[in-house]
Amino acid sequence: MERRTFLGTLSAPVLAACAVCMGACSKSASGSSGAVSANFTIDLSTALTSVGSSMVQAGVIVVRLAAGNVPASFTAVQVACTHEGTAINYNAPGTNFVCPLHGSTFTTSGAVTLGPASTSLKQYTITINGTTMTVTG
């Protein structure tokens, strides 16, 4: 078989295989946002009472970073990793968020510090009135 004929018979299947591969790769690279809209309250007299504690509600993970019932003492970000949607965890010793599936890490404000995730977590607005925290965004 001539070289040109041989390559001609390969090109269509090879191109089809590449198209399949590129489709799979682009799905993995684009990931999922996982961001939700939120509007809920938390009673700070019973929840998030200790520094480093966290809770998940309505697709949002809320963490107490410091003492005091002021917004700067907390953070609230989407719980779904922006890579493939796995629920992230708060890592108190590192003061960051860690995804258990592929190891992406995020700052407490949601910025990516280690991939494969490439998109920041959505951060929500926190307001506090007395012992009632409201999370919106």
Between residues 48 and 99, which has the closer beta carbon with respect to ligand FES? Answer: 99
For residue 28, the minimal CB distance to ligand FES (Å) is 9
For residue 86, the minimal CB distance to ligand FES (Å) is 4
102 binds ligand FES (CB under 6 A): yes
- Quick one: 91 exposed, middle or buried, by C-beta within 10 A (0-12, 13-18, 19+)? middle
Tokens 């629920």 locate to 87
Is it true that the peptide bond before 13 is cis, omega within 30 degrees of 0? Answer: no
Residue 109 and residue 123 in contact, taking contact as beta carbons nearer than 8 Å: yes
101 binds ligand FES (CB under 6 A): yes
Tokens 């990931």 locate to 31
91 binds ligand FES (CB under 6 A): no
CA distance 133 to 72: 12
Between residues 68 and 115, which has the closer beta carbon with respect to ligand FES? Answer: 115
For residue 124, the minimal CB distance to ligand FES (Å) is 19
Q: Binding residues for ligand FES, per CB under 6 A?
A: 81, 83-84, 86, 99, 101-102, 104, 116-117
